[in-house]
Amino acid sequence: MSTNAPERSPAVIDTQADFFVQVAVPSPLRDFFTYLPAEDTDKSRFKPGARVLIPFGNRKVIGIILSTLSCCTVPVQKLKAVISVLDDEPVITPTILALCRWASRYYHHSLGEVFMQALPKGLRQGKPLPCNTETHWQLHESLSEAQIKQLKRSPKQSAVAHKLNNSPSLGLGEAQLLNQGISRAVIKGLADKDIIYKKEKVLAATCFSTYGTEGGETALSLNPEQQNALNNVLAHLHHYQPFLLDGITGSGKTEVYLQAIAAVLKAGRQTLVLIPEIGLSPQTVGRFKRRFNTPVISLHSGLSDGERLHGWYQALAENAGIVISTRSGIFTPLPKLGLIIVDEEHDSSYKQQDTFRYNARDLAIYRAKQAACPVILGSATPSLESFYNASTGRFRHLTLRVRAGVATPPALNILDLRQQPLKSGILPDSLAHLSAQLNQGNQVMVFINRRGYAPSVICHDCGKVIDCPHCDAHMTIHRRPPHMHCHHCDYQIAIPYQCNQCHSTNIHPAGQGTERLEQALSEQFPDTPVIRIDRDSTRTKHALSHMLETINTGVPCILLGTQMLAKGHHFANVTLVLILNADGGLLSADFRGVERTGQLIMQVAGRAGRSHKPGQVIIQTYNPKHDALRLLTQNHYSLFLASLLEQRSQLGLPPYSFMAVIRAESGLSQACEYFLQGARQAIESTMNGHLKVLGPLPAPMEKRQSRFRWQLILQANQRATLHTTLSGLIAYLDNQKLPRHLRWSVDVDPQDMA
């Protein structure tokens, strides 16, 4: 990266000015910019990591100070001055600054934008840093005889003065005084007499380390596998060490986390817990809060901007010992960081899919290295990357093969869908199993990966399917409320009554969605409640928690839902899980398709038999002989992973190679293709080292939201080769004049090739 002024100009060393501020600006430009200090600002206020308001083009924007310089290669008259410095102390701490710099280089993304991602919205918008002080009222010195006399006729003031006199520091917090029923008027009276004065006291007393580790719910006594895992972590508490905690669902990983956190708190250090988007439920947070008598901060999308800023600040000010957060929490400043946990480390929500395409799981490794602390990646279905790192010894591999407590792993069975009569997508055998479990008073779960009524509407006369005009996708039919909906761009229309190709009215829903199944299951089991859990049924605020409450009463019922059911929930009474459409991902064009299907099947299967009743899983499939399914039913996920690794090795795919995708999108398909062809030529003309270039190819879903999407895939055996190539390519592309409305982006370690 280079130092550049807003207007690029020939290098001239200026001899008059000797103080320059280097600023990272939230703009896609991968450059830093040089400014003059604001005229009357004390130069010591220009601290790296503090925010400045600066003129940028014809706007005013907030940037982050990177450094100050004593000389500059740009003529002073070309430079603009900082408008104001917004912070006395850096909002990007030195540690987070280093993390952001690393991430900016690794993901080839503008540092200014990375900084903005690292800050809570309030700070991005220029709000002041909340202050961590409390108003105290204090005596100048111990009460004198004269003062006691002076207060004789104001008994209330006298009482307060004596109270302060008796406190060790001759002072008490205003909140504390008000709480004791003392009025503001009394306090003001004493202040007017100059007997007491106001002091803003920094709240060191509420630092998390002042809370004992006692007082919460008691820890469970661990089984030998859990104990072994915990001992391993405890043996590495004071230096960098990554762990893969590879434990089947219900094996008690969370209990291991909790006991490791207890040790970290005892050592006076903080823990960062990352959870997938969908998993950060009040139940999860509650489990951590109940265990520890120390402030736990949870940062999730449901918070207001103010709450988020407050939580973020609690972490920075060391008020909170534990921060639980989704992806973006990886940038939370934690001065006493002593442990990072990434729960469900395989989850794709750790990877941001737009703008700054970082992977919080991978940044967690970097952060643990920075903080010289352990990091635990936990999962029942580890990602291939982590499994590979564990197999090479880069991560320590800890396994939990038995379920904690009394539960045993469920049995997995495959049912062949080929040439079978189907009732709303359910095999007669499956129905019989559902019915048997319900009759025994148990709960059952039916999993289908599609919300809505049916994934498409088809004309039975001409075969036309109703497609979204903006995407390469069918429109899903919904019944409640009735409409057609594109799940990729949100385009909605009324349900048509005739085919727009042949005008026949013989058009019908095709395939199954959650709504349609809900209807079918209710007809099949009229006396059993069917609880549908998907994005539509849980849209209102407390809907999900109400449904979970009903389920937790243990009444026999049918839980029907999408991925939302697969993650994290603990349903003690579910004894049977039926997976309706496992096949889609097995045949997907994405090289991670099989891996994702395996994860999903095992995660859904993990909902069965979590308590004292044994569980059973039925997988309906058109590919009963598929190798992946066969390995999964042996209930040994590591065999499945090992076979996938073997395939990836043969094909030279990640983790055996390093990948990046250059994406282009535009209203014109051809513009994308030409642009990426240019990129390919640029790579080929400067290529050094072994690098494979694939494409340009249209994305599997070429058209989305009326824009065409193309990709160029780069694959290298060495990470360094990939990064050098990308740097060269980006420098080249940054200097190209782009066709109108064409946008391009770089995705390092892509997770989703759609």
- Which residues in this chain contact Zn ion in the complex, by CB under 5 A? 459, 461-462, 464, 468, 470-471, 486, 488-489, 491, 499, 501-502, 504
- Burial 161-193, CB ≥16 within 10 A → b, else e: beebeeeeebbbebeebeeeebeeebbebbeee
Nearest one of 579, 581, 609 to 437, comparing CA atoms = 609
Residue 143 is encoded by which pair of tokens? 């009460």
185 φ/ψ angles, rounded to the nearest 5 degrees? -60, -40
Note the helical H segments in 235-359: 253-266, 282-291, 305-316
CB of 610 to ligand ADP, least distance (A): 7
Reported as type and span, the H/E element at residue 727 is helix 719-734
CB of 180 to ligand ADP, least distance (A): 41
Residue 7 is encoded by which pair of tokens? 């207007």
Question: From the list Zn ion, ligand ADP, none, which binds 251 (C-beta under 5 to 8 Å, kind-based)?
Answer: ligand ADP
Nearest one of 340, 365, 379 to 261, comparing CA atoms = 340
Nearer to ligand ADP, 275 or 415 (CB): 275
Question: From the list ligand ADP, Zn ion, none, which binds 295 (C-beta under 5 to 8 Å, kind-based)?
Answer: none
| Ordered DSSP codes for 666-715 | ESSHHHHHHHHHHHHHHHHHH--SSEEEEEEEEEEEEEETTEEEEEEEEE
CB of 470 to Zn ion, least distance (A): 4
CB of 221 to ligand ADP, least distance (A): 6
Residue 222 binding ligand ADP, by CB under 6 A: yes
Pattern 106-145, ligand ADP, x by CB under 6 A: ----------------------------------------
CB of 202 to Zn ion, least distance (A): 53
Q: Which of 405, 593, 698, 700 binds ligand ADP (CB under 6 A)?
A: 405
Nearer to ligand ADP, 398 or 521 (CB): 398
Question: From the list ligand ADP, Zn ion, none, which binds 249 (C-beta under 5 to 8 Å, kind-based)?
Answer: ligand ADP
Nearer to ligand ADP, 99 or 608 (CB): 608
Question: From the list ligand ADP, Zn ion, none, which binds 504 (C-beta under 5 to 8 Å, kind-based)?
Answer: Zn ion
CB of 485 to Zn ion, least distance (A): 9
Q: Helix and strand tally (H, E) in the chain?
A: 21, 31
Question: From the list ligand ADP, Zn ion, none, which binds 471 (C-beta under 5 to 8 Å, kind-based)?
Answer: Zn ion
Burial class from Cβ neighbours inside 10 Å (0-12, 13-18, 19+) for residue 483 reads middle
Q: What share of the chain is helix, strand, coil (3-state, %, to 5)?
A: 35, 25, 40
Nearer to Zn ion, 440 or 492 (CB): 492
| Chain centroid, CA 180 distance in Å | 43
CB of 326 to ligand ADP, least distance (A): 17
Nearer to ligand ADP, 252 or 276 (CB): 252
CA 508 – CA 497 distance, rounded (Å): 9
**SS3 state of residue 467:** strand
Nearer to Zn ion, 133 or 504 (CB): 504
Question: From the list ligand ADP, Zn ion, none, which binds 590 (C-beta under 5 to 8 Å, kind-based)?
Answer: none
CA 319 – CA 317 distance, rounded (Å): 5
CB of 492 to Zn ion, least distance (A): 10
Nearer to Zn ion, 469 or 689 (CB): 469
**β-pairing verdict for 20-24 and 337-343:** unpaired
CB of 489 to Zn ion, least distance (A): 3
Q: CB neighbours (10 Å) of residue 622?
A: 14
Residue owning tokens 């030998």: 224
Query: With the C-alpha atoms ordered 145, 150, 155, 158, is the resulting torsion angle positive or negative?
Result: negative
CA 442 – CA 503 distance, rounded (Å): 48
Nearer to Zn ion, 462 or 694 (CB): 462
Query: With the C-alpha atoms ordered 180, 184, 185, 188, is the resulting torsion angle positive or negative?
Result: positive
**Contact call for residues 534 and 451 (beta carbons, < 8 A):** yes
Judged by CB under 6 A, the chain residues 295 through 314 that form the site for ligand ADP are: none
CA 393 – CA 311 distance, rounded (Å): 36
Whether the bond between 696 and the residue before it is cis, its omega within 30 degrees of 0, is: yes
Q: CB neighbours (10 Å) of residue 71?
A: 11
Q: Which of 191, 204, 205, 220 binds ligand ADP (CB under 6 A)?
A: 220
Pattern 570-609, ligand ADP, x by CB under 6 A: x---------------------------------------
Question: From the list ligand ADP, Zn ion, none, which binds 252 (C-beta under 5 to 8 Å, kind-based)?
Answer: ligand ADP
Residue owning tokens 């306090």: 187
Question: From the list Zn ion, ligand ADP, none, which binds 254 (C-beta under 5 to 8 Å, kind-based)?
Answer: ligand ADP
Nearer to ligand ADP, 241 or 249 (CB): 249
Nearer to ligand ADP, 252 or 452 (CB): 252
Nearer to ligand ADP, 173 or 405 (CB): 405
Question: From the list Zn ion, ligand ADP, none, which binds 405 (C-beta under 5 to 8 Å, kind-based)?
Answer: ligand ADP
Question: From the list ligand ADP, Zn ion, none, which binds 462 (C-beta under 5 to 8 Å, kind-based)?
Answer: Zn ion
Nearer to ligand ADP, 254 or 281 (CB): 254
The count of chain residues that interact with ligand ADP, using the rule CB under 6 A, is 15
Q: Which of 27, 132, 223, 408 binds ligand ADP (CB under 6 A)?
A: 223
Nearer to ligand ADP, 253 or 450 (CB): 253
CB of 347 to ligand ADP, least distance (A): 14
Question: From the list Zn ion, ligand ADP, none, which binds 247 (C-beta under 5 to 8 Å, kind-based)?
Answer: ligand ADP
Nearer to ligand ADP, 470 or 570 (CB): 570
Burial class from Cβ neighbours inside 10 Å (0-12, 13-18, 19+) for residue 549 reads exposed
Nearest one of 429, 408, 432 to 420, comparing CA atoms = 429
Binding segment (CB under 6 A) for ligand ADP, from list 151-159, 216-224, 437-445, 639-647: 216-224
Question: From the list ligand ADP, Zn ion, none, which binds 501 (C-beta under 5 to 8 Å, kind-based)?
Answer: Zn ion
Distances in whole angstroms, Cα of residue 462 to Cα of each of 198, 468, 499, 504, 560: 82, 18, 9, 8, 33
Reported as type and span, the H/E element at residue 151 is none
CB of 702 to Zn ion, least distance (A): 12
Judged by CB under 6 A, the chain residues 225 through 284 that form the site for ligand ADP are: 226, 247, 249-255
Nearer to ligand ADP, 479 or 570 (CB): 570
CB of 491 to Zn ion, least distance (A): 5
Question: From the list Zn ion, ligand ADP, none, which binds 305 (C-beta under 5 to 8 Å, kind-based)?
Answer: none
Distances in whole angstroms, Cα of residue 192 to Cα of each of 1, 162, 173, 188: 58, 17, 18, 6
Nearest one of 663, 674, 633, 691 to 750, comparing CA atoms = 663
Angle of helix 637-651 relative to helix 384-391, nearest 10 degrees, comes to: 90
Pattern 543-572, ligand ADP, x by CB under 6 A: ---------------------------x--
Nearer to ligand ADP, 611 or 721 (CB): 611
Residues within the interface to ligand ADP (CB under 6 A)? 220, 222-223, 226, 247, 249-255, 404-405, 570
